[in-house]
Homo-oligomer: A and B are copies of this chain.
Amino acid sequence: MLKLYSFGPGANSLKPMLTLHEKGLDYEQVLLDPRKFEHHSDWFKKINPRGQVPALDDRGHIITESTVICEYLEDEWPTEVKLRPDASWERADMRVWTKWVDEYFCWCVSTIGWHRYVGNMVKGLSDEEFEEKVKNIPVVEQQVKWRRAREGFPQEMLDEEMRKISYSVRKLDDHLRDHEWLVPSMYTLADICNFSIANGMQHGYPELVNKEDTPGLLRWIEQINERPAAKKMFADVPREIRHEDAKK
């Protein structure tokens, strides 16, 4: 039995979750609560020593890193639904897009997300309580990020990340105006991995993602949301961050 440890259906957690749903694979969903720092708890660090979700347990093999999990599912659990092209150059095209989301797009969106939500989440803690939490984080760069979120990110960094978000949104829209999917011939892991970061930006960044400025990107976001697998997933798995909260 497949078992997926993750947060709710957003960002990196969404990638394998949507892949599993698209492929119609049965799996057990173990939701961790980021507000309780459950991913930094001892029990979970026994599963992933880096204290990061998502992580997939497949008959005792632990697979980590969201994009790696998605390709793993294609390798190990081939289904009639194919989310990876057969042609090698299309496969390469897919990987250029999943690499881009992992190295660029997800980071700028993540910093602003941390600025908006995580900052508020940890500001209520006393210094002592906060240090107690940080101590449990195994990755140094993550410790730095938690501290920055609490102190407030430098404005210069926020401006730079917003520039990167604008660029990313433009890049996706330029492509999606002329193509149904990122790899033009079919819906692939490239769409799933980029959608996982882009979905919700029409609410969180309405000044950037809207009908006038990014019709291609918006069409694609809506089109993926309308897929039966996505509908089922969003109906089945609760989200922990709601757009209403995001606007506060």
Contact = CB atoms under 8 A, between A and B. Distances in A.
Contacts of A99: 65, 67-68, 102
A69 interface: yes
Interface stretch (A1-9, A56-64, A109-117): A56-64
A83 B65 CA distance: 21
Counted per complex, copies of this chain come to 2
Contacts of A96: 64-65, 68
A102 B100 CA distance: 11
A68 B58 CA distance: 26
A241 B42 CA distance: 46
A75 B88 contact: yes
A15 to B, nearest CB: 13
A80 interface: no
A99 B64 CA distance: 11
A65 B102 contact: no
Interface string A90-109: 01100110010011000000
A96 B71 CA distance: 11
Contacts of A69: 92
A43 interface: no
A104 to B, nearest CB: 9
Given A65-B99, A95-B65, A99-B65, A72 B58 contact: no
